[in-house]
A and B are shown apart, each in its own frame.
Chain A
């Protein structure tokens, strides 16, 4: 399939307008000795029908979460996505537009991002938000860099209850920036507050805490944040925006910067990406934020209009003094999240959060009744929890898999000490019957 649409006659006509006799003449600036003389070792082009067969065959070799019952979480969740999300965010005007640098030709997407920023503020309790970053882990890294710039300090304290990918990406970014990372253990499923207090000093630019954290547990932000502020460090909280429908927002605890994974807001699982990096913060950090920010202004007639604001923070203006190198963000995923939040609205988001909480607690209680299974941590949790089993994680999850259930994420890949543990996430999509089947499967292991 070719997507070019010049006929041979038109090509001749265009060449003659240019005043050359072949396309090759237009390539004359590429020296002969640099030319690739062979054919690319890539198969010949496929028609649309052939292509759909090719990718269809590959897709069919995956067992997907429509056909299986998914209790997997750890940063990616099988939430319900209302039909309006695909329909409205998928409109080709949003799909095939570029970054809205030309405001007059982009009012629709600019207003959409402005509303997105507002709704992210509402869910996080923060004063300002940007128009998205790549995903949760790099958003956390950007937040640490921002905190280091704001405080002129070069140390980041990171709770080990944060997602392992977040911690690893932080290591990669911070190594390059010469920011020292000090890990704080979370032996009981939440950050060890005593250890955190001992680690804190006036060297710390920020403390990164995730809540609900990687284990699903809710951190005591009411106790942690004041301790962080005592040392002049910034509190960076990675959060699940769905939790805003049930738990107090980070903003209510005086958190400085909120980051998070927005995948739960209407973004399909897609084997881990593209997802939606969230960043919100207190207003005083707005000019230090990375990424695009949309602002309201007026046009020449004095009417409300929207444009990219504070572009002087960004790489195309500030170059090496920019707040970040980010250019392309996750606009289309922000559009999905915006439609999701608009459709769910105030009561819908509360219902989603409550159903997750209720069903997760039902599942956890039922699993804990089985011989050989127990909750690994006592800390309160939101929509996922960690189970320790004496029956062998592989056997337990294998028994689920045989029954078409993705029963949980084995945690041994993240931490050897959790070799007998797996994590179970329960969203509003799961029914009581499905949870009961999970119990049967686990009991059969």
Chain B
């Protein structure tokens, strides 16, 4: 008997609302071994009396379901994605081919080292490349993402202070810092103190000097910072910190702006992390996986996580666990290997000179878009910008917000920029180096059209999006009365 449709025709049903009992989209061969009696080998109290209520769907409908879901997503492949601070550059397909090679994809983490020398050599080369880009002595590939790298880096810094008989509980961060910075400090049992920025977006050195003391473990800084400005005082900041025994932690989120142009290790940084999914083109995957390799200066090497990849005198590679001062392990096994293969493929594709070209073109693209928009949108900071810039919509006699503009961009097939952070009401635009001039111009045209609309027909902006699969959502109720799983009818 046909059931009454559970959702409206225009909605895309949940998996659980489709299918029929008995369907299955996978097939396994019949068992070729004798089936042992369950209750002879397991206490009956532990044996399930029913199967888990997973969906029951045929293969074609599983395929259609996920195909339709894919159609309801913006992505770099389908849309311009100028999401500030996220470096949504093109993810080269050859990287996917590399990572999918059976010689990488089908290796078990506990295989004999003699059987996996190829992947170990790749990781070793990547480690060396990252150290070169950072201008630092050594790299761990273990952290799983940028924030995980921050935590690892802070633990290394704390181990260093402890090794000198000190316990320092304070970490400084500018007011424009990523939210992960203070959250990572909390993970390490530390508290964050905010250092003021000057109106031009640079760190207020007087405020910094007044806050650095013998209890300061480190300062975490992003440079260029999140407002798109390179802080040229960075070497001085390092000196101020080092004079009190504190360390300089560099958040590598914006490395795309300075690749090959300047190196953190050369301006006094002690520890930094990379976001391979930002700088080195590994896909963002709807929110991961990333990888957050951490580079450190010479004096911090002994504290790196174990195992550390090393090369023996005979040229072979091995995981070395013998570091008594190591902070320990921060994740299972060795790291996000499949992601790191992609990062290696990218770095070797682009090459040493190409990396500098990446940074230059990313900078060019951001400054070009800013120059085209500066007459209609307020630019709170002075150009030239790094790889991203901040703009604030300010239209007299209008209550249209940055959120409205963001949603209206969806109707233009463009993913909105980062909103409302680190400056109130702002949009943070990061075009990246991989976009064509045509695409940048289409974005400019869309932004100018929206500016016109705000003056001529603000309602159309305030009720956007109009072409997305859904209208604007009630995100408040999603948090007030959370419904985070399907529970049946």
Contact = CB atoms under 8 A, between A and B. Distances in A.
B232 A319 contact: no
A405 B381 CA distance: 63
Interface string B89-109: 111101011110111111111
B372 interface: yes
A274 B339 contact: yes
Interface residues of B, number: 208
Q: What are the nearest 10 A-B pairs in CB distance?
A: A59-B103, A45-B351, A272-B333, A332-B285, A61-B118, A272-B109, A108-B72, A274-B289, A331-B287, A315-B183
A188 interface: no
B54 interface: yes
Kindly state the interface size class of chain A when it binds its partner.
Answer: 35 or more
Contact of A351 (B28, B34, B108, B329): B28
B45 to A, nearest CB: 5
11 contacts: A30-B262, A40-B133, A40-B353, A44-B352, A55-B345, A106-B72, A122-B52, A122-B54, A298-B474, A331-B285, A349-B51
B284 A325 contact: no
Nearest to A297: B478
A80 B353 CA distance: 42
Contact of B66 (A28, A339, A409): A339
Contact of A40 (B338, B355, B365): B355
Contact of B183 (A118, A310, A325): A325
Given A70-B108, A311-B479, A107 B469 contact: yes
A322 B11 CA distance: 34
Interface stretch (B17-25, B207-215, B239-247, B394-402): B17-25
B4 interface: no
A343 B186 contact: no
Nearest to B77: A92
Contact of B68 (A87, A97, A108, A132): A108
B122 interface: yes
B388 interface: no
A187 interface: no
B49 to A, nearest CB: 8
Interface in B189-233: 189, 191-192, 229-230, 232
B73 A105 contact: yes
Given A88-B62, A104-B407, A134-B331, A3 B186 contact: no
A348 B26 CA distance: 7
Given A52-B98, A108-B73, A320-B182, 7 more contacts: A30-B262, A46-B351, A58-B119, A61-B118, A135-B333, A169-B328, A268-B106
B327 A172 contact: yes
Contact of B331 (A13, A87, A135, A249): A135
Nearest to B133: A40
A59 B104 contact: yes
Interface in B108-126: 108-112, 115-119, 121-122
Interface stretch (B293-301, B431-439, B450-458): B431-439
A176 B63 contact: no
Contacts of B473: 103-104, 297-300, 305, 307
Contacts of B109: 75-76, 269, 271-272
A3 B24 contact: no
Given A95-B75, A292-B287, A348-B28, A129 B485 contact: yes
A87 B63 contact: yes
Given A29-B230, A105-B468, A176-B158, A3 B410 contact: no
Contacts of B288: 132, 274, 328-333
A112 B158 CA distance: 40
Interface in B247-303: 258, 260-263, 266-267, 275, 277, 281, 283-291
A103 B179 CA distance: 21
A404 B383 CA distance: 62
B367 A26 contact: yes
A322 B183 contact: yes
Given A58-B122, A311-B479, A342-B65, A178 B26 contact: no
B63 A332 contact: no
B266 A325 contact: no
Interface string A81-93: 0101001110111
A67 B105 CA distance: 12
A362 B33 contact: yes
B337 A401 contact: no
B83 interface: yes
B180 interface: yes
A361 B180 CA distance: 47
Main secondary structure, interface of B, reads loop
B139 interface: no
A133 to B, nearest CB: 9
B261 A118 contact: no
B262 A52 contact: no
Interface stretch (A4-12, A196-204, A227-235, A437-445): A4-12
B470 interface: yes
A248 B52 CA distance: 9
A17 B232 contact: no
B67 interface: yes
Interface string B325-354: 001111111111111010011011111111
A295 interface: yes
B48 interface: yes
A115 B18 CA distance: 13
B159 to A, nearest CB: 10
B364 A6 contact: yes
A45 B353 contact: yes
A55 B98 contact: yes
A27 B262 CA distance: 10
Contacts of B286: 94, 97-100, 106, 109, 112-113, 331-332, 334-335
B234 interface: yes
B69 A112 contact: yes
A370 interface: no
